[in-house]
Structure 1
Amino acid sequence: MQLRILGCSGGISPGQGTTAFLVDQTLLVDAGTGVESLTYEEMQQIEAIVLTHSHLDHISHLPFLLKNLIGSTHQTLQVYALSHTVDALKNHIFNDVIWPDFTVLPSHDSPCVQLNIVKYGDVLSLADKQVVVLPAYHSVPTAGYWIGNEDAAFAFSGDCFQNDDFWRALNNLPSVDMLIMDSQFSKKDKALSELAKHYYPSALKLDLEKLDYRPPVFISHLPVTNKEKLLTEIRTELARWTPEVLEANHVYNVTKTET
């Protein structure tokens, strides 16, 4: 399974877009500013999008993607998200004020996009992959995802803070070969981290210990400023997991690993 990181930053800077991952050319996980690195031809190949939550850095480029696709021969794009996220898109984006309502354009019978509500525990069959909606914990309702096929699997927490449900769900699924976790703040910003519901390294360490095995861990959503200081803290706190930093514009071949 191929995982292309279009963007994974907690903010914008040259060459660093916000969260958007492309899986095997046809499945998009979140639609942040990283989407703009796709060519028009690559956009045409996308069949489905799974969204973690409604925050702008994870949905900002869905409207622009649809604008590129409308009027083409592309089939209706299927978007899957929690009800809170779908409601936010309908009420605040595709409302004919901020952006045209692409759920009924160019026609009711053949819209550019269909917004599908999912719940925790739902299993989607998308191409050759199974996508499981995982419970997660953030400042707004949010979901993580387990995505796998016969060859390998990875999981993504989305924006997340300490909880039991995400880890319980992972322990009840086939083990992952790549685990992508959010870590936005350092321990000195613990109060802000708890308010924003983003992990800081020692909090993430406590939750990683809830997992019954030790997969390769990749850190996403790092801040634009003071990044190196946070990385030092991450590598110290999570030394048992030897975490790697998720790299924008990088392609990972997710393959079965021994855990």
Structure 2
Amino acid sequence: MKVEILGAYGGSTDTSFLTSFLIDDFLALDAGCLTQTLNLDGQVKVTDILISHTHLDHTLSLGFLVDNMFGLRDEPLKIWSGKAMIEAMQQHIFNEVIWPDFTQLPNAEEATMAFREVLPEITFSVRHLRITAVPVNHVVPCFAYFVASTETGGCILYTADTSTTDRVWQVANEIDRLDAVIVDCSFPNHMDDLAIASGHMTPAMLAADLKKLKRDCKIMIYHIKPMFEDQMIAELTALNIPNIDMGIQGKTYHF
């Protein structure tokens, strides 16, 4: 299972791209920067997108990707997410005011985009990938996603945006195999009040939460705010978290 880290930051600059991960060329985890990091050939290969939640840094490129694909594919681009997230995207993005409703273009029978509802902790398949969503602790409804390959046996957990949480770590401890966790860490330690209020973590909060994880796996940090990156890397390094991987944007992993 190939996992490409297209964008991994909690803020946007010329070198810091918003959250998007690409699995085996066809499944995207969130849509912060898909059209900024994939050429048109790469975009056409994306057939399915998992949306963790509706905040702009995780959905920004979704409308542009669908627009680019108009007329270039025979099947609709499938957008997978929870009921509340789908309703929010329909109401606030694809509402014919901010952006066209591509579930009705060119017509309902030949739509360019289709929403697919995901239920918590009900595993479903997209090709050879088995996916399970688990709610996490953010300020809007938000799913973490476990993605496992039936071809390689590899499995990753993408926590999405979350503050201190419990259930996702319980599920992580129960499954047969877990190779890596892509986990939120957004603010430096002195901003813990803001991290809690906005549904994110600091390095110290993350270290405490990771004690709930009883697995030996890679810990991949995402969602660092670019303006605090140097400070946060220093704070994360000082914690001596085993198997930690920082600066993951642009890397490709195989599990």
Q: Does 1:171 align with 2:173?
A: yes
Residue in 1 aligned with 2:42? 42
The 1-side partners of 2:159 and 2:79 are apart by: 18
> Match of 2:222, as an amino acid?
S
Contact 1:184–1:198 (Cα < 8 Å) also in 2 = yes
The 2-side partners of 1:116 and 1:55 are apart by: 18
> Match of 2:69, as an amino acid?
L
Shift in Å at residue 178 of structure 1? 1.2
Shift in Å at residue 135 of structure 1? 2.1
Q: Which one of 229, 247, 258 corresponds to residue 231 of structure 2?
A: 229
Residue in 2 aligned with 1:161? 163
Question: Matched residues, percent identical?
Answer: 27
Residue in 2 aligned with 1:65? 65
> Match of 1:76, as an amino acid?
P
The 1-side partners of 2:238 and 2:209 are apart by: 16
Contact 1:190–1:200 (Cα < 8 Å) also in 2 = yes
RMSD of the alignment, in Å?
1.2
The 1-side partners of 2:241 and 2:17 are apart by: 29
The 2-side partners of 1:24 and 1:122 are apart by: 22
Contact 1:16–1:34 (Cα < 8 Å) also in 2 = no
Residue in 2 aligned with 1:87? 87
The more displaced of 31-40 and 85-94 is 31-40
Q: Per-residue CA shift, 1:207-240, capped at 9, x if unaligned? A: 1111122211010011111211111111222x14
Contact 2:207–2:241 (Cα < 8 Å) also in 1 = no
Residue in 1 aligned with 2:221? 219
Structure 1 unmatched runs, 5+ = 255-259
Q: Give the secondary-structure state (helix, strand or coil) at the position aligned to 1:252.
A: strand
Q: Give the secondary-structure state (helix, strand or coil) at the position aligned to 1:119.
A: coil
Residue in 2 aligned with 1:124? 124
Residue in 2 aligned with 1:204? 206
Cα 1:224/1:15, change in 2 over 3 Å: same
Q: Give the secondary-structure state (helix, strand or coil) at the position aligned to 2:108.
A: coil
The 2-side partners of 1:131 and 1:122 are apart by: 8
The 2-side partners of 1:16 and 1:100 are apart by: 28
The TM-score, its normalising length taken from structure 2, stands at: 0.96
Q: List 4+ stretches of structure 1 deviating above 4 A.
A: none
> Match of 1:244, as an amino acid?
D
Residue in 1 aligned with 2:195? 193
Contact 2:18–2:32 (Cα < 8 Å) also in 1 = yes
Structure 1 segment 105-120 matched on structure 2, within 5 A:
105-120=105-120
Residue in 1 aligned with 2:242? 241
Structure 2 unmatched runs, 5+ = none
> Match of 2:92, as an amino acid?
H
Cα 1:141/1:19, change in 2 over 3 Å: same
Cα 1:34/1:248, change in 2 over 3 Å: farther
Contact 1:218–1:244 (Cα < 8 Å) also in 2 = yes
